[in-house]
Structure 1
């Protein structure tokens, strides 16, 4: 005689009633999986283990009992995915061993996959939407916990497949696998066609879960560092999602935070700033940790665009933990000491660990150094430049030789500040950059003095490894003639480039023989050219007598004309297009539908319909 299952029988009756009433929220409350489970669930698990032991026959019988949960409608297709999901749910409760975390994850992922299939039903799928979200959160929590502590499952991976299996798990991590499953649920919600069209306003049906699933998927993608996979998600949202304003504030804030971080990682700082600012403005005042997290990326966006955080912001409760990280950085940018700036954000600096942990270190290093050079050139101009006179036709200018001397002074000063010369050598190399001085890589040891690297020095090991590159048998000159090379002679060390044909002044007298500019002077000219091109400085450069000339300074003065406000300059240029990719806004109320997934189409000045 088969064991009786009174608890399971009553549970199935309750589930059938909830499905009939389409009560998805209460259905999710019934389908619990997280330990510790209540006593009634433990009793049901005992009944499952006694009556339906693991095996094909028991699974078939359990599947048949779950078939009655689906209401039969005339002419309607049966919801076959839901009974299979319920059978997997009971199997999960019966077979799960929470001490084996990897096996638990696999069972949970299979359960969620089947629930997502049930979500795809056009008639009844919306009933399991809360359950999909619940199971997704549990799986994401488990996957992220294992990702932070891989040693918990390392021994299981070794037993299952050895090193090869472990290598494959590193390529597609548990977090990424979870994100792929959650993405499928997101697609089911986004492509739902029940109710009103998405463009008409408030979401209905499964579309209410668009941003719930999107936020969870984005959280997983950021955790595993697969931001490229989010690109298609944002494109799909732009094309098919209802406007973001129709969703709850918690969903809006979370989505705009991840959207801002994604745009920041792609160097789109102006739209990232708009998204993060909106997330910060809409975030509840008491959610201090969330507001601090948003400011962690909003402040760097503003710094890169030339806008430093105010003391008022940093004195707020959510801003106080960030002051110790961003205030010294802003002070270094204002000071203009590019060597101190590089030391502050170097990989081995203790001050850079926090920036690296939050994924903003490289961006700040690459994007803020140009602001440091602008501050440096501005200070040199203040103290050593010609600011112009009322009766003088000569515009304000700054000889770049003074910038060169100031750069060398910074370098010499830095050599005394760095102990044992570990970061900056006192002897500048004759090759490479003169403004970037890094510790010599051990693979290039011996190249710090290129004149000494030749076959007569006895450095056979170095020449044997790099001889074909460092000292070839010959080379072709500019006219195409093959020139034989002396054995062991470094070609690049003795090349004398001629800058005459690249003269910036087209009216210069070609008969004047120009003095060969130093490498450092060439780098300084390049840096100032970049500043002028970006609009962070105004004027023009002369190459024959290297200097920066500032034109149009009679009305405003040399300093504000030659060194305009960085924030105002960048914001004016970037604000010509305030659209944020991935942020769906209501369509324009006049004229044609908005282009690009809800972007507003401005119709100011458009003629009435029918007029040519």
Structure 2
């Protein structure tokens, strides 16, 4: 029964009832607006709600009964009880929302979306509210991400509720993560809808048309809050139950492949990530320049890690604006083979790396591309200082092409000396901090290629050979009661008093070799090693780097440890360089393309070949009850 003085509300409810009866979900979503600024008709309805159904009054039950009339009745009564409750929450949200209190607004909106997701779960009428669920979820996500970027807006509200003083050992759930959990529930209801043909054989029908709409929104929230582990189950569920991605609109395909590529990239699965990101870039509309630029932000480093440097033609495209200045210097450093300049360019304290860190691609570039720098350096040294074999057509079969590794060591020491002389030897790649890697070649122990901070567990080892025999003031202030206690028990168990200031264990012994406490007690002099023909510590490190390149297939040949060399057998046909230093991208592609399946990307089933049956997919049951044992005729 219509209330008194609620003409606008009456017309609104009548329109909602007709839309539900006609199953017009898109128009229903147009009716249920919540984002300000609302039109005058909504403000008039809010005034009627506040007058006729005030907050906390008994008339709210009457409002719920009016909402129950919106659901079509059947003989057994309506089973869609979640929708009237959702409509009542919608009206109370409009009536009570206070946009000045953003935290309260978020909580009310999250409750509204939760109830709408419950209404979505109905097998008969749930698909009607699918557009509304998507609309409300987008509003919730927008509010949550806005508050996540500006937490000071709700900091005072969190303190008032006592939520900012939670135990630090307990991981705090952010508003963005809470929103992702709500959207995930809607995604599950869309994915598990039983209408139409399930699995990869079917096409999007019913609520399943919203699978990737909800998945993309949930992935956006998960990437915002940095909870990528929570996306793993989503990709597994999609692989098992979703229709093929090609049956969905291009906008949904591009967005999903972008997030899938980023997820695979973050898990170091660079080849499948490259396939997903490349497909997203190819399918993206040519006028969507900002979207294509975002895709290239991850596609370019993914290719660089696998040996494909960006071309000038690519970086000159409109969608690549601003990317050339980011990635070209890295590509140039890889080609130059200057490992010190490469490390300094991508150092954590460098000003140029802030953008890479914000995008989450700094560490993959630093850790994965340095091996390409060493390959380029070894290749250059081989070109200029290696033995390339006998000339073609020569009747004499000599040794295979090889490179003496001491020449590579000389090149490394030359790089170190160049950087040590001038920290600004190359203006475009000037390091932002002290050039520490250039000094490592002078170390008596430890790495001679990579600077590492001293280990506090071995503090003072260098001074062990000096005359120091008494703890310093800092050590004494911390451990006085341990080094010089009032007394101690002797070997017979008798208490022996100790005079103040006397060390119980006596002066420290500077010779630790008998106790094996000094890991560098057996120091090796470089000159004496060279005299005996043994490899230097730097040579050992270089051998390890080249062995890693050989293991990965980025170089081909073998190493000899006596008179260290890198030899390239079988180079008479193709030449020394193509044989010993194969193309990096082609090598990785040949290895990875044996299985081009991309986890999380549902493809259509294989077509029928030669009139026979296609290979049975997962989930099919074969009845073996009538099968005979092997060997029985």
TM-score range, shorter chain: 0.7 to 0.9
1:252-267 counterparts in 2 under 5 A?
Answer: 252-267=253-268
SS of the equivalent of 1:583 reads coil
**SS of aligned partner of 1:290:** helix
Gaps of 5+ in 1: 468-484, 498-512, 599-612
Task: State the shift of 1:201 in Å.
Answer: 3.4
- Inter-CA distance 156–445: structure 2 relative to 1 (3 Å threshold): farther
Q: Determine if contact 2:72/2:78 at 8 Å carries over to the other structure.
A: no
Distance 1:349 1:563 in 2: 32
For the residues of structure 2 that align with 1:134 and 1:394, how far apart are their CA atoms?
72
TM-score normalised by L of structure 2? 0.84
CA 1:597 to 1:307, structure 2 compared with 1: closer, same or farther past 3 Å? Answer: farther
The alpha-carbon deviation at position 110 of structure 1 amounts to 0.3
Q: Tell me, yes or no, if the aligned pair for 1:430 and 1:449 is still in contact at 8 Å.
A: no
Q: 1:580 is matched with which residue?
A: 598
Residues 1:99 and 2:100 aligned together: yes
- Contact 1:423–1:437 (CA under 8 A) maintained in structure 2: no
RMSD: 2.8
Cross-structure match for 1:415? 420
The aligned counterpart of 1:65 is: 66
Q: What is the number of residues matched between the two proteins?
A: 565
CA deviations over 1:229-281 (Å, ceiling 9, x no partner): 11110010000000101100000000001111111111111111111111111
Q: Shift in Å at residue 414 of structure 1?
A: 1.4
Q: 1:436 is matched with which residue?
A: 450
Q: 2:469 aligns with which of 434, 456, 479?
A: 456
- The aligned residue for residue 587 of structure 2 is 569
Alignment-derived partner of residue 354 in structure 2: 353
Shift of 1:488: 6.9
Per the TM alignment, residue 45 of structure 1 is displaced from its structure 2 partner at its CA by 0.7
1:44-443 → structure 2 map (5 Å cutoff): 44-55=45-56, 57-75=58-76, 78-161=79-162, 163-165=164-166, 171-389=172-390, 390=394, 391-418=396-423, 422-424=434-436, 426=439, 428-438=442-452, 440=453
Distance across 2 between alignment mates of 1:331 and 1:107: 53
In the alignment, which residue of structure 1 is the partner of 2:22?
A: 21
CA distance in 1, matches of 2:224, 2:58: 41
Aligned residue for 2:559, secondary structure, equals strand
SS of 2:548's equivalent in the other structure is helix
* Cα distance change on mapping 1:379 and 1:102 into 2, 3 Å: same
TM-score by length of 1: 0.87
Q: Is the 8 A contact 2:464 2:511 kept in 1?
A: no
Match of 1:550 among 548, 568, 577: 568
Report the CA distance between 1:48 and its aligned residue: 1.0
Q: Are the equivalent residues in 1 in contact too, given 2:97–2:105 (CA < 8 A)?
A: yes
Could you give the per-residue CA deviations for residues 152-196 of structure 1, whole angstroms, max 9, x where no partner exists?
111111111153249699721111110010000000000000123
Name the residue aligned to 1:475.
Answer: none
Given that 1:27 and 1:131 are in contact with CA atoms closer than 8 Å, whether structure 2 keeps it comes out as yes
Q: Deviations over 1:28-72 (max 9, x none)?
A: 000000000000100111111111111162332221221111111
Following superposition, which runs of at least 4 residues in structure 1 exceed 6 angstroms of deviation?
A: 463-467
Distance 2:49 2:353 in 1: 55
The 2-side partners of 1:43 and 1:238 are apart by 48
| Aligned counterpart, 2:496 | none
In the TM superposition, what whole-angstrom CA distance separates every residue of 1:475-495 from its partner, at most 9, and x where no partner exists? xxxxxxxxxx94573511214
Identify which range, 113-122 or 391-400, moves more after superposition.
391-400
Q: Give the Cα separation in 1 of the matches to 2:69 and 2:364.
A: 58
Contact 1:275 1:580 in 2 (8 A): yes
C-alpha deviations, 1:531-587, integer Å up to 9, x for none? 000111111111122111111111111111111111111111111111111111110
